[in-house]
A and B are shown apart, each in its own frame.
Chain A
Amino acid sequence: MDKIRHAAKIDAKKRKDRRYLDTMSLLVSKGLLRTNMKILPRPNSRISLDDAVWAGINVEPRILEVLPAAVLRLGRHFVFLPERHAGLLEVVACLRLGAVTGPDFMGISYKKLRIWADFPLKDGRVKTVSEKKIMRAYRLRPEIFRKLENMAKQRGCTETEVIENVIRFSFSARL
């Protein structure tokens, strides 16, 4: 019991560590974590990925559960050297592709990690993986392109929406 009490004292000190507070400030203000602790919200901060991993291993393991989704969705908020986080980035790549299966991260199953890629965040501008549009360039024949333009004008929507609707319709017609 003494060992547990001693370890609890060390934990309490770690909860005051800058690395933990910075990580929680970002994740709590973005809505990926909730806490009953007094945390200063810093939604625009940039934090070191090394610090976030440290905080997840040493203070709050739930940080590790949401970290791959955080890196995917809030990428510009993290500073890191890719070669130091190959395992994490492999998970992030799978999440980006919307893969159903993928590698575990620090003992947390991919199934569990995947939930947070499609989780609504406080900031509505941050899209979920399934909402995020993928950019592609296609070369269309002038005749097809003109038809596409006309269809968009007639329907009062964008050319992208016309293509999406045509594909959706052709799939539903097959069913």
Chain B
Amino acid sequence: MITYMEKFKEQIEEIFKQLDKLVEAENLERRENGAPILQNAEVRLLGQASLLVNSRVSAVLSLALTGDLDALLKMESFTKESLKKILHQHGLVYDEDSHLVWIPDGAVFEELLVFENVIVKIIDPESALVSKAVKAPQKNKQLVRQAIASGEFPRLAARIICHGGDLEFFGRD
């Protein structure tokens, strides 16, 4: 049985494969015209999407997400506009406020997809949860509680306190 997590992962793969092909085609045209080619793009997935594509996390946490995609984009404007169009076709919206997402010290980005022109990385789940717990505790109260109670993220509680989060908040009803 295909789980939603697998479907979402396939969708993410399809989105960035499409982007890679677009960049490839654009570069071909630019080479022919003697124009400077597009640089390789890097996408760092943050937020709920980074948790949902992670099979280990998706197996222990109940996740819900709206259609917005939080990600740090290192790419040229042509690539960014193309990505936004592709996301729209897939029923997703790029969150323009993604650069405001706080990334805690010690966060690690792992490679998720590597194409010729596009690399997609995801933030490690514990850091994503720390960020949510410290910066948006109300919106993520139940999620953080479930993550702590699962025992799958042994340093989560300590990191929340270390970064100034209120751990007691998650114990309140």
Contact = CB atoms under 8 A, between A and B. Distances in A.
Interface in A1-45: 1, 3-12, 15, 24, 31-37
B59 to A, nearest CB: 9
A16 B3 CA distance: 19
Contact of A35 (B63, B149, B170): B63
A33 B142 CA distance: 17
For chain A, give the interface size range.
20 to 34
A1 B142 contact: no
Interface stretch (A55-63, A74-82, A92-100): A55-63
B88 interface: yes
Given A1-B157, A62-B65, A116-B66, A34 B170 contact: no
A14 to B, nearest CB: 8
Contact of A11 (B5, B8, B146): B146
A61 B3 CA distance: 23
B66 A66 contact: yes
B93 A115 contact: yes
Nearest to A9: B149
A25 B61 CA distance: 18
Contact of A33 (B64, B140, B170): B64
For chain B, give the interface size range.
20 to 34
A130 to B, nearest CB: 13
A142 interface: no
A7 B170 contact: yes
A24 B4 CA distance: 14
A4 B63 contact: no
Interface string B151-173: 00000010000000001101111
Contacts, number: 92
A120 interface: yes
Given A59-B142, A60-B142, A119-B93, A34 B64 contact: yes
Contacts of B145: 4, 7-8, 11
A36 B67 contact: no
Interface string A112-155: 00011001111000000000000000000000000000000000
A94 to B, nearest CB: 19
B67 A61 contact: no
B122 interface: no
A82 to B, nearest CB: 26
16 contacts: A4-B148, A5-B149, A8-B142, A8-B148, A8-B149, A35-B62, A36-B3, A36-B4, A37-B63, A60-B64, A61-B138, A61-B141, A63-B64, A115-B68, A116-B67, A120-B91
The 8 A-B pairs of least Cβ separation, nearest first, read A3-B171, A8-B149, A8-B145, A35-B64, A5-B149, A61-B139, A11-B142, A4-B171
